Structure 1
Amino acid sequence: MKLTHCVTLLTLSAMLASVASAQTREPVYRVGAKVDRATQGESHPLDAALERARHGLQRIRKGDPARNIEPLRDYTCFMFKRERVNGKLNPTNQIFCKIRNEHIDATGRKVPFSVYMYFHGPADVKGRECIYVDGQNNNKLCAHEGGPRGNWLPTVWLKPEGALAMKGQLYPITTAGLENMVLKLIERGTAERKFRPDECQVTFKKGVTINKRPCTLLTVSHPVRRPTYEFSLAEIFIDDELELPVRYVAYDWPKSGEAKGEIQEEYTHVEIKTNVGLKDIDFDPKNPDYNF
């Protein structure tokens, strides 16, 4: 196998340690909350967060011509993913990703949303590969297992939201990538904006680093537990240069005496390389560099 993205687990562990030891150097700037119910046209603590998210979506889809920033057509990255599924927190998945956002190329061709993933860890899934191309292959993903089972299980085509593809996952592969993360943040923020502003606290903190890259930490918290809220605390790390969220962590409500609750879901993207010119072959199971 000629996977050019192969790195040692030691390197991946160093990346993860860098994420875990993010440090802050500047003070927190808190967004004030009103003490009555939010109504249409009324301000809400989430307004500033939604503005940042919409700016990120604009950055992805249209770029910023005034600053010679191109739209985000494609990128590669390492993603560290940890999710609580059916009450159990899964081990951290270490995944190399190739993502191609839907866009119109220079020839006028509509390029579909495309995903390739290679799992570096944990050991029981190391070597797993997945490919999904929107609108192609009957909208199915192509996958083969990693770890010891990868030696004898065949390559399969699965419905992304089917039981087999979703085993041990919170979300289908169709929702992968930074653009989908931003869309999800906008969706959640817009929904929560309808609820009481005095039960929502939003802060921005500069001087945070993820994998040695300067970021701004956005936190959204709900001091009162209600069924309408999906989390007690969410932390969104926005890369200052890319102007995109590169890390998202959501926590459940803490138990008595705890500062934070249990992790619900956690996604960190590092070593992001933008507009690298990914081709159709990068999302083709017949690629000789892959093991389908």
Structure 2
Amino acid sequence: MTTPRRQFLGLTTGLLTGGLISTAMSSRAAAQSPGQQPQWANPVHRVANAMSVPKAEVPRDVPGKAALKRGLDMARQSLEISRNQVRDYTAILVKREQVGGTIGEHEYMSIKVRNRKVSGGQLLQPFSVYISFLKPSSVKGREVIYVENQNDGKLTAHEGGFKGRFLPTVSLPVDGMLAMRGQRYPLTEIGVENMIIKLIERGEKALRYEDVTCEFRRGAKLKDRVCTVLEVTQPTQRPDAEFYQAQVFMDDQLNMPIRYIAYHWPTREGQPGQVIEEYNYLNLKVNVGLTDADFDPNNKAYNFYS
């Protein structure tokens, strides 16, 4: 049996995973778990000995926009930590996105990421991503690899399960129509560092509006991680406003965000808005020593060409 290339590409368009932001829970979201989390999803965050994370000043009773400014300071500090001290990391990414007006189910994936490193204008370490889909069953077994400046800028992907037995490994443009179908963001925007950058952009935009409110909540938990939650609410639905309410969970030990969730404006007063996007980075382990082999489709531990 042969499968036309276009038909196969249609089957593989769900491979890309957005991840621009680690997700935060509000008091509303805190009672929810990101799907039923299997045993392997229990987070065990580790900080390598070589990584020195300064203890952030935990915001206390900071009102209004002052709280948002404090949150932006925390995000900028987190970005500095990521750029200067985090070479690579592994995590279980749990994501849920609304695309075309429909919110998808939670997807679980094991990811490996090497952060982009530049010195003196020279690219020392390209941004690199490996993804192995874990659940639901419709995506289990899929694998995706992207390495900056390799493979003509394309990702390498293959299906899992029964389809993976007879469908070939393919290369797809990361921002092409097929690769972006069913996804909010291209693969190049996945990861904690990209998430922080986007958080800063959105926070700076929110500062322009007088009716935007912001508050901190301390002592929240995502699994076993103690976090400080920043919640931003934009009551006025402006054309350039991307959410009604958003929450960021900042890991108090790592000084890095590990969860983000954003909601639409409620259609009825007193009712919660629909989820726009949700990203959770569980079991986050930094500076684990990833190598080129971790981002090589020919790695015998992977199934790209089996």
| Structure 1 SS opposite 2:38 | helix
- Partner of residue 64 from structure 2, selected from 32, 42, 58: 32
**2:257 counterpart letter in structure 1:** P
Q: Is the 8 A contact 1:9 1:120 kept in 2?
A: no
Is 2:285 the partner of 1:273? yes
Is 2:65 the partner of 1:53? no
- Partner of residue 189 from structure 1, selected from 173, 198, 203: 203
- Cα deviations across residues 228-279 of structure 1 (Å, max 9, x unaligned)? 3110000100000110010000000112244420000000001011100000
Is 2:38 the partner of 1:10? yes
Q: Is the 8 A contact 1:124 1:148 kept in 2?
A: no
- Partner of residue 127 from structure 1, selected from 131, 141, 153: 141
Q: Is the 8 A contact 2:42 2:283 kept in 1?
A: no
Q: Is the 8 A contact 2:42 2:282 kept in 1?
A: no
Q: 1:39: which partner in 2?
A: none
- Partner of residue 151 from structure 1, selected from 160, 165, 188: 165
| Structure 2 SS opposite 1:146 | coil
- Share of identical aligned residues, percent? 44
CA–CA separation in structure 1 for the residues paired with 2:203 and 2:101: 24
CA 1:14/1:111 → structure 2, altered by over 3 Å: closer, same or farther?
A: closer
| Structure 1 SS opposite 2:282 | strand
Runs of 5+ unmatched residues, structure 1: 1-7, 16-26, 34-43, 63-70
TM-score of the aligned structures, taking structure 1 as reference length: 0.81
TM-score of the aligned structures, taking structure 2 as reference length: 0.77
CA 1:60/1:128 → structure 2, altered by over 3 Å: closer, same or farther?
A: same
- Partner of residue 205 from structure 1, selected from 217, 236, 254: 217
Is 2:175 the partner of 1:161? yes
Instruction: Report the count of equivalent residues.
Output: 253
CA–CA separation in structure 2 for the residues paired with 1:169 and 1:250: 16
- Bigger relative contact order (CA 8 A; separation at least 6): 2
Q: 2:100: which partner in 1?
A: 86
Is 2:185 the partner of 1:171? yes
Superposed CA RMSD in Å reads 2.3
Give 1:191 shift: 2.5
CA–CA separation in structure 1 for the residues paired with 2:167 and 2:241: 41
CA 1:74/1:251 → structure 2, altered by over 3 Å: closer, same or farther?
A: same
Q: Is the 8 A contact 1:31 1:203 kept in 2?
A: yes
Q: Is the 8 A contact 1:217 1:238 kept in 2?
A: yes
- Partner of residue 253 from structure 1, selected from 247, 255, 265: 265
CA–CA separation in structure 2 for the residues paired with 1:281 and 1:258: 52
Give 1:114 shift: 0.3
Give 1:49 shift: 1.8
Q: Is the 8 A contact 1:12 1:94 kept in 2?
A: no
